[in-house]
Structure formats: structure tokens, C-alpha cells
Amino acid sequence: MDYPTVEFTTDKRGQNSRAECPQGMGVNSQVAILGDTNLSGTIQFNDAGCVYGITLTGSPGIYDYVVNVDAQGPKGVGSGSGYLAFTDRSGDTYKLSLYSSTRSVHTVRYNSKQPEIVKIRWDNHSI
């Protein structure tokens, strides 16, 4: 499904950085960084780990919101994990660890009165 894009800005592509969007990414939208929704050239981890795309959707059930992350963790024995942290408008932060080197969609479910994601951080070490 194609969602409207929300532009985040960053000072640095690659490993160990962050991107921000003052207005925030609302429900049923996807992240674009530096004009691109394919984030694999921007959000990177060691040993070929990367994020391909990020969307925010609604979620029926206990949690109202879900961040969907199309990604793969670092490859190889002892390569570790890739770490992501999503901060919403209320200041709450939700974390995700990517350890599998197989590309798949990972999810972070949460509740918030201000669910818009305003900051994304990524690192090769726990955030």
C-alpha cells in the first residue's frame, strides 16, 4: 500500500545518526529522508544491515499505533544488531532491535495521545 510521505531531515547518511520532522509523521504515512522513501542508503548498520522503509499505521486491539519497519539486521556471526528508536510528539521513545539478517517487516506497537513520530535514531549499539 502506498502512503503519503512525510519528509524527515538528517545531517548524516549511514551508521549512527538520526532524522527529525518537526510536524511529525502521522498515521497512515511513510518516512522519506532527503526525498527518498527507500531508506537503505540513509539508515544503515554495520555488516550490510539497513532499513528499507518505515510506515506508521493504526492498530486494532490493545495498542492503537504500529510502526512498521522493512529492514534487515547485520550479516554474519558476531555482527551484532541494529538499533532504532522512535520518539513521538509527547516525548515518549519506542525502541526496536534488528538482529536477523533476513529482510522482513518488524513492528513496534504503542499507545499515545500524541502519536506522531518526530524523531528517528539509529545506531550499531543499544540506544
Which grid cell sits at 27? 498515521
Which three-class secondary structure state does DSSP give residue 40? Answer: helix
Is 125 within 8 Å of 17 (Cβ atoms)? no
Q: What is the pLDDT of residues 111-120, one digit of tens each?
A: 999 999 999 9
Mean pLDDT in order along the chain per 10 residues (127 residues) = 91 95 96 96 96 96 97 89 97 96 97 97 93
Order across the sheet with 65-72: list the strands.
Answer: 5-8, 29-33, 50-58, 65-72, 104-110
